[in-house]
Amino acid sequence: QSVLTQPPSASGTPGQRVTISCSGSSSNIGSNTVNWYQQLPGTAPKLLIYRNNQRPSGVPDRFSGSKSGTSASLAISGLQSEDEADYYCAAWDDSLNGGVFGGGTKLTVL
Amino acid sequence: QVQLQQSGPGLVKPSQTLSLTCAISGDSVSSNSAAWNWIRQSPSRGLEWLGRTYYRSKWYNDYAVSVKSRITINPDTSKNQFSLQLNSVTPEDTAVYYCAREPRIAAALLIWGQGTLVTVSS
């Protein structure tokens, strides 16, 4: 059971906009920033969004992040087939004094 | 360009110690602007943060509650690398293990190692 809660799956058609939610609590998302990772099959996770809404160099602006209270969201606009992957949210948890991840969302591009 | 190269055995016997090393190129393990993390991933537990080491005038460690009694993460400044030791392993510790660099400015895992599948089995 992951500390952060994500829907197990999401889907969309090419060109569509999809959002993935991440729910936490006051000790993690409520008091710290949220990061998002993309994982393609057989590869290490890749940082997609850091500090709630910042994109590392090289990440397309089709990817955006937001946070409100104890929840966060990842939005992908102009969906492409190459976006089919697993997506994970993460944050620091002050009560656990450690990092925590969501269970992951498998995105399917129909 | 920072790169992380993991090494270590892929098979460990139950009750023994799992040991992995992460060699750093393009940065220093003693950097004041980064932390060095270990994470693992298994089908049953998903992505699980295990711990980190970092230098801020002195060395610090943070460990996950789930493994705190069994884990040690050590920096090795002479070889510019850091290591993971997990004691008293069980089959539940079977996972892909990753090391990762966390820039202070990002507070996120920006650079990842290639991953090492460690199987705990007799």
Q: What is the arithmetic mean of pLDDT over B22-33?
A: 97
- The tens digit of pLDDT for each residue in B52-110 reads 999 999 999 999 999 999 999 999 999 999 999 999 999 999 999 999 999 998 899 99
The answer to whether the CB of B113 falls within 8 A of the CB of A39 is no
Q: Please name which of A109, A101, A108 lies closest in space to residue A5, comparing C-alpha atoms.
A: A101
Reported in sequence order, the residue ranges of chain B that DSSP labels E, i.e. its strands, are 3-7, 11-12, 18-25, 34-42, 46-55, 59-63, 71-76, 81-86, 95-103, 111-112, 116-120
pLDDT of residue A1: 83
Q: What pLDDT sits at residue B83?
A: 98
Residue whose structure tokens are 């500090």: A51
User: In the prediction, which pLDDT does A89 show?
Assistant: 98
Q: Between chains, do B48 and A101 touch, taking CB under 8 Å as contact?
A: yes
Contact with chain A for residue B8, Cβ under 8 A: no
Closest of B41, B32, B43 to residue A101, by C-alpha: B41
> What pLDDT shows up at residue B33?
95
Question: What is the per-residue pLDDT for A8?
Answer: 97
Local confidence band at B36 (pLDDT 50, 70, 90 cut-offs): very high
Residue B106: the pLDDT is: 87
Segment B27-32 shows an average pLDDT of: 97
Q: pLDDT tens digit string along A20-76?
A: 999 999 999 999 999 999 999 999 999 999 999 999 999 999 999 999 999 999 999
Cβ distance B106 to A103 less than 8 Å, yes or no, reads no
Contact B46 A2 (CB under 8 A): yes
Contacts of residue B14, Cβ cutoff 8 Å, sequence gap at least 6: B89, B90, B91, B120, B121, B122
Residue A54's pLDDT is: 97
Give the number of C-alpha atoms closer than 13 A to the C-alpha of residue A106, restricted to the C-beta side.
Answer: 6
Residues in A whose CB is inside 8 Å of some CB of B read 2, 32-33, 35, 37, 44-47, 50-51, 54, 56, 88, 90, 92, 96-101, 103-104
- Say if residues A90 and A49 touch (Cβ distance below 8 Å): no
Average of per-residue pLDDT values in chain B: 97
Report CB contact under 8 Å: B114, A44: yes
